Amino acid sequence: MGLFDYFKKKPEEVVPPAPAEKPAPEQPQSFFGKLRSALKKTNDILNTDIRDLFKREGRLVDDEFLGELFAALIKTDMGVAAANKLRDRVKVDFRGRVVHMNDILTAVKQELRGLLDQPGQAQEINFAASGPTIILVVGVNGSGKTTTIAKLCQRFKDQGKKVVLGAGDTFRAAAVEQLTIWADRLGAEIVKGDPGADPASVAHRAVAKAVELNADICIVDTAGRLQTQTNLMQQLEKIHRVMSKQIPESPHEVLLVLDGTAGQNAISQAQGFSTAAKCTGIMLTKLDGTAKGGVVVAIREKFAIPVKFIGLGEKSADLAEFKAPEFVEALFEDLA
DSSP 195: T
Per-residue burial over 317-326, b if 16 or more Cβ lie within 10 Å, else e, is: ebbbebbbeb
Residue 18 predicted with pLDDT over 90 = no
Span 239-253, pLDDT tens digits? 999 999 999 999 999
Integer Cα distance of 152 and 162 in angstroms:
12
Q: How confident is the model at residue 93 (pLDDT cuts 50, 70, 90)?
A: very high
Span 152-172, pLDDT tens digits? 999 999 999 999 999 998 888
Mean local confidence (pLDDT), 90-100? 93
Span 273-304, pLDDT tens digits? 777 778 888 898 887 766 567 888 888 878 77
Question: For all residues of the chain together, what is the average pLDDT?
Answer: 82
Cis before 251? omega within 30: yes
Span 186-239, pLDDT tens digits? 999 999 988 888 889 999 999 999 999 999 999 999 887 654 566 777 888 889
Residue 164, pLDDT score: 97
Residue 24, pLDDT score: 43
Neighbours of 202 (CB within 10 A): 25
